[in-house]
Structure 1
């Protein structure tokens, strides 16, 4: 009995500093987020911090629906914007792993009539080095913003625009490239992009609250999107989600995004060797290295390598940071264009590192 009590005492003594550290970190994160999301009656954000695949912080701030005074909760569903690109990249790698496509052959093998497609590879599309025109920079975008287009029609919208540079010459973040990738996923798999992602990623990872975006479907626990002019909030404008498509049309929760990160870590979706292609830095034609893999920015916090990506779509802004060496994941989802979580998500990751976790 005495021995047993001694063991319990030692365990308690070891646990108390950990508890104190966790409480300190929680207060620090609360303070950070409280300084950004000050308006409790306006739209806000949900945040989750995980260590070794388990949540250590999970809170939401502000309103999910301003008109109805519905508070945001961590399980609300947000539009992801360009974080969608991670899923598109992994889908492409799954098809490559199955031998259904190759990353370094011309896209003309899949889209024969694509102008200059004999010089552009899937690798170029994944790494934003293709040089094709980004449709979000085209003045004519407003003419189609609310039209429901097929993937082919969406690709046809920008494919004849003059290229900005020769493939592989520069890195220039490009939404069009990821739309082309989504079209190729459909051509190669024989499934719609929406169905492919649902079946081969969301279902496999257990992401039961994630889906392709819709403004008309009844979505349980949907967070509504807003923008702000001066001191006044407005509902986000409507767009057809066939426009952002595979570059920015998915929805998820902070909990599901942790399941996504864990699925990647556990090789549930890809072999480790294949997944590593997404987390490798590549070089331009002149040998210059750039800090983007396939669907992730590859950066660092205080010298510690990170995998990062944000997103922005009407009414929403998002940001995720993963620190592989420490298995730390920080995800922030905001339902207002006025509340970018980009910097505060990085700040939280920095805090977690500083606390020795």
Structure 2
């Protein structure tokens, strides 16, 4: 079940939805093009984009250290904005907490989340290597809230959004995801140099983006997975092609679905040429 949207040069080529937006016993509501899905870690792309906007506006700098905003956390005086964006901070991923399944549905205040983060020492010295950690983007979300004066999260039923914040709190549609990533690459959100930082991959991570390689085709974007929701957003710069897929129920891996989508799209493009 889910929705897919394919766009090129800023125009939608194809959109399709299958399955249900909700199922309760014998009652089911069909999904449509307006159905919103939890996009989980694709949220990190939005968080990174807002950080770049704040940097462009002179309200933040790559070299700002975590202790300037959230003092007292492990290694805070040595961890910079840039390190958190690139997963190079060493901050432990609190979603790896063994008790996470027991407390993930419980709303948490910012202070409670910070207390949980403070339980764990750094996994490694800041900037010595890279390791994926949701904690980085949770904290970046807090920094955004402070600078913008607006809350990032909306409460949800499963993993509560007060926990995930800038790491995975958003809901969206594939069409809106495509509009977002096309806006990034059209330099509508910030100057081109910030996009270069965003997609510069070191040790497997960019700043809010990862890289996907399909044969001779290369894309940038992010994946997301939480509580039965799976999503992926990709942009192929050479072809100005955006593909977004969001699902709330899979019987085969999302990578297999997208491999078939890529095959069909590029076969069609070759035939068109």
- Checking the alignment, whether the CA contact within 8 Å between 1:79 and 1:213 is kept in structure 2 is no
Deviations 1:134-173 (A, max 9, x none): 0111113245323322233312211230221111222211
User: Deviation of residue 213 (structure 1)?
Assistant: 5.7
* Unpaired stretches in structure 1, ≥5 consecutive residues: 1-43, 195-211, 216-237, 283-289
Given the alignment, which residue of 268, 273, 290 partners 2:193?
Answer: 273
- Quickly say closer, same or farther: Cα 1:258–1:276, change in 2 above 3 A: same
- Checking the alignment, whether the CA contact within 8 Å between 2:185 and 2:195 is kept in structure 1 is no
Query: Is structure 2 residue 234 aligned with structure 1 residue 321?
Result: yes
Given the alignment, which residue of 8, 18, 21 partners 1:64?
Answer: 21
User: Deviation of residue 82 (structure 1)?
Assistant: 0.8
Given the alignment, which residue of 83, 100, 103 partners 2:59?
Answer: 100
Query: Is structure 2 residue 40 aligned with structure 1 residue 81?
Result: yes
Task: Name the residue aligned to 1:293.
Answer: 206
Task: Name the residue aligned to 1:214.
Answer: 156
- Checking the alignment, whether the CA contact within 8 Å between 2:178 and 2:233 is kept in structure 1 is no
- Checking the alignment, whether the CA contact within 8 Å between 1:317 and 1:335 is kept in structure 2 is yes
Note the aligned Cα RMSD (angstroms): 2.0
Task: Name the residue aligned to 1:247.
Answer: 167
**Aligned pairs, number:** 268
- Name the CA distance, whole Å, in 2 between partners of 1:147 and 1:85: 22
* Unpaired stretches in structure 2, ≥5 consecutive residues: none
- Checking the alignment, whether the CA contact within 8 Å between 1:334 and 1:340 is kept in structure 2 is no
Query: Is structure 2 residue 90 aligned with structure 1 residue 131?
Result: yes
User: Deviation of residue 268 (structure 1)?
Assistant: 2.2
Task: Name the residue aligned to 2:73.
Answer: 114
- Name the CA distance, whole Å, in 2 between partners of 1:352 and 1:155: 45
- Name the CA distance, whole Å, in 2 between partners of 1:338 and 1:152: 39
User: Deviation of residue 338 (structure 1)?
Assistant: 4.9
User: Deviation of residue 337 (structure 1)?
Assistant: 5.9
- Name the CA distance, whole Å, in 2 between partners of 1:173 and 1:337: 24
Query: Is structure 2 residue 29 aligned with structure 1 residue 51?
Result: no
- Quickly say closer, same or farther: Cα 1:347–1:184, change in 2 above 3 A: same
Report the TM-score when normalising by structure 1. Answer: 0.70
Task: Name the residue aligned to 1:302.
Answer: 215
> The residue matched to 2:95 in structure 1 has which SS?
helix
- Checking the alignment, whether the CA contact within 8 Å between 2:3 and 2:245 is kept in structure 1 is yes
